[in-house]
Amino acid sequence: MATVTLQGKPQHTVGELPKMGSAAPDFTLTKTDLSDVTLSDFLGKRILLSIFPSVDTGTCATAMRRFNEQCNDMSNVTVLCISADLPFAQKRFCAAENLTNVIPVSTFRHPDFGKSYGVMLSDGPLAGLMSRAVVILDEKGKVIYTQLVPEISAEPDYEGALGALG
């Protein structure tokens, strides 16, 4: 279990982020067209997992915009924006913001993602949603970068994540 804060108040996750150098836990997530994807669908490129509570918050929306912009010219990177939002809300947001360089995916049918990646919040007002985190995988699915953002309402370390992408 890890501890983060929400507006300064301690919140706990169900576990810990995957360890650096370990094989990433497999996952199944749902795209905006309601099809399911798995980790193996993205192997062969580096994978940036931008994990957050909901696209309907300012910080989460900002993170999606920033990763969309900053990964625009990285042809060997896939950015998955992962939340429990319904795929319809994710699709609407990306269309309204013209975000085409990120892939929004939902845990709504597959909540095990939050457990296996150690990011599901276990208490507090956001219990059941995910904490803010970034996990980067190499082309073979090995964990090469992690950040559990200490304050849920804060933005991730973009420079650190982008540096890990190479």
Cα distance between residue 10 and residue 3, in whole Å: 6
Residues of the chain above pLDDT 70, percent: 100
pLDDT at 64 over 90: no
CA distance from start to end of the chain: 30
166 pLDDT band (50/70/90 cuts)? confident
Catalytic option among 60, 71, 81, 94: 60
State the pLDDT at residue 145: 97
pLDDT at 11 over 90: yes
H runs (alpha helix) in 40-111:
58-70, 87-97
Q: Is 60 a catalytic residue?
A: yes
For 3-154, CATH gives: 3.40.30.10
State pLDDT tens for residues 16-42.
999 999 999 999 999 999 999 999 999
Cα distance between residue 159 and residue 15, in whole Å: 25
Binning the chain into helix, strand and coil, the percentages to the nearest 5 are 25, 30, 45
State pLDDT tens for residues 77-130.
999 999 999 999 999 999 998 888 899 999 999 999 999 999 999 999 999 999
pLDDT at 65 over 90: no
CB 80 within 8 A of CB 102: yes
